[in-house]
Amino acid sequence: MEKHFEELIQQVKIALIDADNDHQLNNIKSSFLGKKSELMNMMKKLGSLSADERPRVGKQLNLTKQKMESLIQQRAHEIEKLKYDRTIQAESIDLTMPGLQPQIGGLHPLTQTQRKIEDIFITLGFDIVEGNEIEDEYHNFDALNTPPNHPARNEMDTFYIKRLQDDSNNRLLLRSQTSTVQVRIMENNQPPIKIISIGRCYRNDKPDRSHSPFFHQVEGLCVNDNTTFADLRDILSYFATMMFGNDIEWRFRPHFFPFTEPSAEFDIRCFSCKGAGCSICKQSGWLEIGGAGMVDPNVFDAVGIDSERFTGYAFGLGIDRITLLKYRLPDIRILFENDVRFLKQLC
């Protein structure tokens, strides 16, 4: 009999060796200690034993049961520990592993150009002012001495904002040039005035490699009692050198703007053919980056500045154009597509 108890204990020990989860442990518990287990059967049969055998066998049975229970309990503790170790291992972080490299952002090429332009003009004593992208016909055309029948006013060229019940003859529009800021500043300030303003403009242009329905300009305006065309020349010459380098060649080309007289276009030597003529500069050897001139007296009259006493120069340069030239980019649209592969190279 004793030998049999010993065997049962051995069987439990062997079964427990392979048990490594709660489910297996519960199965072992019910097959060795449950109602239908051999041990329980033996307990049920205790009553049929003789009176002097019963206490001895009963004691043995109890001892065996306790031993089995404590073996199972011990294994339960071990499994608990095993579970804990597994969780720790699965969730642990190896602090010695190299981390994920964070993606570092940068400034868009247009923003870089804008900041460079601002730096250049700040050192020359210009203030930076902001303008509105939504303007009216008066500030975009009339005050800038643009006649009512000027082609730029056409809806084919300028985006008008249609308002319900709009009976005014001063329609709202998306400004087609930053020259609107000249008017706003001169309406509210008397000379000396020395400002630049950078911002977005809109024209009804079909997008292609050199056109976009929106683009960016820097407007400059300097009004004083002795400002001359030579000052304009010096400022733009200095700007070109600072922007494109010492050996940059530039020129003024006579032109017409309603709001400046005399007027000129400002050209830079073609970076591609260096003047020999190529497809980028349309065989001219030059690339246009903006317009400039002396403020027309009619503009002074419109804004309430004494045109007998004051003179001034103004210029408007294309920031997108400057950026294309600076980075030798073939197509303006690349600046607005936000292709990360392109931006990564220049940001």
Query: CB under 6 A: which stretch of 39-47, 101-109, 207-215, 289-297 binds ligand PHE?
Result: 289-297
Strand pairing report for 311-318 and 260-269: unpaired
Q: CA 279, CA 272: separation in Å to the nearest integer?
A: 9
Q: Rule CB under 6 A: is residue 223 a binding residue for ligand PHE?
A: no
Tokens of 225: 């009692």
Shortest Å, Cβ 321 to ligand PHE: 11
Binds ligand PHE (CB under 6 A): choice among 72, 223, 270, 314: 314
Strand ranges, E, within 96-233: 127-128, 134-136, 160-161, 172-174, 193-202, 214-224
Out of 113, 175, 316, 335, point to the residue binding ligand PHE (CB under 6 A).
316
**315 part of the interface to ligand PHE, by CB under 6 A:** yes
Check binding of 180 to ligand PHE (CB under 6 A): no
Name beta bridge partners: 317. Answer: 218, 290
For residue 226, give Cα distances in angstroms to 221, 294, 311, 313.
14, 12, 6, 11
Would you list the DSSP string of 309-338? T-EEEEEEEEHHHHHHHHHT-S-GGGGTS-
Indicate which single residue of 292, 299, 334, 335 sits in contact with ligand PHE (rule: CB under 6 A).
292
The Cα–Cα gap between 261 and 142 comes to 16
- Which is nearest to 287 in space by CA: 300, 298, 274? 274
Q: Is 191 in the site for ligand PHE (CB under 6 A)?
A: no
Written as one string, the DSSP assignment of 270-297 is: -TTTTTS--TTTTTSSEEEEEEEEEEPH
Report if residue 260 touches ligand PHE, rule: CB under 6 A.
Answer: yes
ω into 192 cis (within 30 of 0) = yes
CA atoms within 13 A on the CB side of 43: 15
Closest CB 221 distance from ligand PHE, rounded Å: 8
Q: Return the bridge partners of 133, or none.
A: none
From 114, 145, 158, 179, residue interacting with ligand PHE (rule: CB under 6 A): 179
CB under 6 A: which stretch of 92-100, 132-140, 191-199, 285-293 binds ligand PHE?
A: 285-293
28/174 with CB nearer ligand PHE? 174
CB-count burial class (<10 Å; 0-12, 13-18, 19+) for 299:
buried
Contact region for ligand PHE (CB under 6 A) — 66-74, 116-124, 235-243, 255-263? Answer: 255-263
Inter-residue contact 57 to 47 (CB < 8 Å): no
Q: Does 177 bind ligand PHE (CB under 6 A)?
A: yes
Q: Is 252 in the site for ligand PHE (CB under 6 A)?
A: no
Nearer CB in complex with ligand PHE: 15/319: 319
- Give me the half-sphere count of Cα atoms (radius 13 Å) on the Cβ side of residue 313: 19
Residue 124: CB minimum distance to ligand PHE, A = 17
Q: Which is nearer to ligand PHE, 199 or 293 (CB)?
A: 293
Should residue 323 be labelled a site residue for ligand PHE when binding is judged by CB under 6 A? no
Query: Interface with ligand PHE includes 257 (CB under 6 A)?
Result: yes
Judged by CB under 6 A, the number of residues near ligand PHE is 12
Choosing from 158, 291, 294, 303, the residue that interacts with ligand PHE (CB under 6 A) is: 291
First to last CA, the chain: 88
Among 293, 299, 320, 324, binds ligand PHE (CB under 6 A): 293
CB of 217 to ligand PHE, least distance (A): 6
Q: Report the residue number, 179 or 323, with the smaller CB distance to ligand PHE.
A: 179
Q: Which residues bind ligand PHE (CB under 6 A)?
A: 177, 179, 257, 260, 263, 290-293, 314-316
